[in-house]
Structure 1
């Protein structure tokens, strides 16, 4: 155990990437002990990536990249301006609402920060907001990406913990709303404190148009349900509703109805059983291509090729981490390290609420140093047996783990959102870190609420028949 964990920590301190650190540490353990046949290593590497849910990873990454080049981000931003830009601290509220919408398509915090972040930070600076405030609210709102479905971390966690990915997706909806309200309240506090006004004049017409778009999108699943109650099949009902929606959008040229439909299609399709969460990732790509090539005609084959190659690069990186983490996690189990750590935690406390407090501290710390995917792959084999033994719902724990790791993305030394926004805003990493600090308050409040009020996570999956 000392060889495996010690060498991993030393390599991380020396600055090696987390995937390479896990792979080298595993190799050193195998060479030092001589108890693991070489063929087992190859088998574990293959088993680590030979998973149907993992097929969702490249497709969700591709969907996020396609949305960024399809002109969808600009439309989402314009819609958010019409909806909440008239409030005090308007563009701060726009930033949050835009992230909520984009989160329903991309599934990653980094895609949110890199896509909408570029537009939002520039617009806020042009309206007189400080760069630090613009970066802070953009970083905080980017954490919504993996909480509001779809979500790449949920896919990895669901695979590792053997729980329903669809239940995890549904479980993220209410916590996502809670986080959104807390962030909007934080913007309102800063606006009141600094005497900020609105950034766009209040207009009943603009607000009405935005509200109509929201109503149209919300009516889509209602219309499908009514047609199904009338005896039509789910496929026919969806086809008719979608045809009517497309006709309305082409005639009135709505700002963001088609973009708003992405999460409705994904969640609705999974709830109706039309496709699995993995197939939902393919549906997200198809919808992105439709918007970019047919509806908005803003996507060129050159930009499509670039998005594809970016996806290949990111997917290769993610799957290498999953492969290395699979070997590392398996060796943790074989060497009894996972059992020793589990016994040590259980020896400290048998109270599930105290355990959740300790788990939050541990995951927050790990999230500052280790990539999200690797952290999930390493921590689940250690913590899940304790979670099950203490009677904690693994879906609830999946939300807790994911939110902790998202907060870790905002911290040095390895916070990817931190570095992306530092580059976008042309601020130093140190100034970016200081800008993000006030936004840890609403995130921590959300983490406490999600941790100690399980119903926020579990109520919706249980209502849909996907909970335990």
Structure 2
């Protein structure tokens, strides 16, 4: 009898996704069906609605719409062009220069905007045509853009780390933000190494690769990009120093991005309504996913599914390396079929008690989970960043798969290093006593 709720949850959720039901509806319907195993219809529907509404009643969640708006303002406000110009002076002279520029610029964009979708859209539309002109294949450019865009979800500020903080019961957002730097940069470096090797083997060399890194040019582009980069220090520095909360920092990011967009003359009052509308639509989608995922998490807790999962995993092994390997494999599989936000909200309450019993820091596990699910964003059939990258490049998923595989493997290698070397994640939070 105790396995019936688990079977109902899994079968209904997978079945609903298989017939094309939107993810949010699939989550809420499967949660309701799970509750109906042991609760009458009217109390079940009422409780689910209450849990969804109460789950959104969180001050920390206010940061998400603000960061989404800030990301859109940055994307439209000319910051991407300046970050790309700065990245060109840093790595443009190396083999596979434009591919490396894409990775570095995506990391910088992610560190400021915290949006993989915005990064993939901006870098793909700006660098994609330029890469084609210099002889790079369209598919290789799309593959680099897709994978590098996800680094912005690990490098702070990151909406998904805020979601993990909520799902974990209040893990420090400041600690999570600091913990994301080294893993995000390490993943970016691995992607750059693979991109360099692939570019050399395929003969992807162009004008950007000629010459050498010039200090004067680096300084010039750095000065141009400095106002954009300054936002990073304001937001993260203020949170770590305790000057303001993550939610207050997100509001400051919106104001700063708006002012900077007007200064750069890339944003006007004429295009503000469209930016606000796009941000509202994205926020609505994200918040609906969060609400339904919180409802499912409550349903699973009521049916003791997390406890049952914990017993099963710890019954297999008490060795934390083996348990983490199993969890990584499960999350890699989950990332193929589920978007990141609901996956974090649903699986954090399941796996966090398991890893906590094994002495793994919740901050460390949060970075493992987020980086793991970043890989899922690059894989079909649900990979949102994959679809954005392919759409911007005007190519097909089938053609992108071949150059995507080595970059995908580089991300997996980075994931396992971060999983089994906790110092990579915990060094900065420990340094600041967070």
Q: For 1:130-209, what aligned pairs fall within 5 Å after superposition? A: 130-161=137-168, 162-197=170-205, 199-200=207-208, 201-202=210-211, 206-209=214-217
Q: Is the 8 A contact 1:135 1:421 kept in 2?
A: yes
TM-score normalised to structure 1 length: 0.87
Q: Separation in 2 of the partners of 1:33 and 1:360?
A: 31
Provide the residue aligned with 1:279 in structure 2: 248
Q: Is the 8 A contact 1:114 1:421 kept in 2?
A: yes
Q: Is the 8 A contact 1:114 1:420 kept in 2?
A: yes
Provide the residue aligned with 2:276 in structure 1: 308
Moved more, 263-272 or 371-380: 263-272
Q: 2:320 aligns with which of 352, 358, 363?
A: 352
Provide the residue aligned with 1:231 in structure 2: none
Equivalenced residue count is: 425
Q: 3-state DSSP class of the match of 1:405?
A: helix
Q: Is the 8 A contact 1:171 1:395 kept in 2?
A: yes
Q: Does 1:28 align with 2:30?
A: no
Q: CA deviation at 1:203?
A: 5.6
Provide the residue aligned with 1:65 in structure 2: 72
Provide the residue aligned with 2:57 in structure 1: 50
Q: Separation in 2 of the partners of 1:264 and 1:388?
A: 32
Provide the residue aligned with 2:237 in structure 1: 268
Q: CA deviation at 1:209?
A: 3.4
Q: 1:255 aligns with which of 224, 242, 245?
A: 224
Provide the residue aligned with 1:288 in structure 2: 257
Q: Is the 8 A contact 1:63 1:106 kept in 2?
A: yes
Q: Separation in 1 of the partners of 2:32 and 2:192?
A: 48
Q: 3-state DSSP class of the match of 1:341?
A: helix
Q: Is the 8 A contact 2:103 2:188 kept in 1?
A: yes
TM-score normalised to structure 2 length: 0.94
Q: For 1:216-255, what aligned pairs fall within 5 Å after superposition? A: 254-255=223-224
Q: Separation in 1 of the partners of 2:366 and 2:151?
A: 15
Provide the residue aligned with 1:229 in structure 2: none
Provide the residue aligned with 1:78 in structure 2: 85
Q: Separation in 2 of the partners of 1:53 and 1:460?
A: 22
Structure 2 vs 1, CA of residues 289 and 312 (structure 1 numbering), >3 Å: closer, same or farther?
same
Q: 2:131 aligns with which of 114, 124, 132?
A: 124
Flag as ranges the 4+ runs of structure 1 deviating above 2 A: 2-6, 26-43, 190-204, 206-209, 211-214, 432-435
Q: Does 1:404 align with 2:372?
A: yes
Q: 3-state DSSP class of the match of 1:401?
A: helix
Structure 2 vs 1, CA of residues 199 and 28 (structure 1 numbering), >3 Å: closer, same or farther?
same
Q: Is the 8 A contact 2:85 2:221 kept in 1?
A: no
Structure 2 vs 1, CA of residues 195 and 29 (structure 1 numbering), >3 Å: closer, same or farther?
closer
Q: Separation in 2 of the partners of 1:28 and 1:378?
A: 16
Q: Separation in 1 of the partners of 2:199 and 2:32?
A: 54
Moved more, 372-381 or 431-440: 431-440
Q: 2:392 aligns with which of 421, 424, 428?
A: 424
Q: 2:267 aligns with which of 258, 283, 299?
A: 299
Unaligned runs of 5+ in 2: none
Q: CA deviation at 1:199?
A: 2.8
> How big is each residue's C-alpha offset from its partner over 1:108-149, in whole Å with a ceiling of 9 and x where there is no partner?
211110122211111111111011111111112111111111
Provide the residue aligned with 1:244 in structure 2: none
Provide the residue aligned with 1:437 in structure 2: 405
Q: 3-state DSSP class of the match of 1:202?
A: coil
Q: Is the 8 A contact 1:132 1:431 kept in 2?
A: yes
Q: Separation in 2 of the partners of 1:399 and 1:31?
A: 34
Q: Separation in 2 of the partners of 1:318 and 1:104?
A: 20
Q: CA deviation at 1:465?
A: 1.1
Q: Separation in 1 of the partners of 2:13 and 2:205?
A: 51
Q: CA deviation at 1:382?
A: 0.6
Q: Is the 8 A contact 1:151 1:169 kept in 2?
A: yes
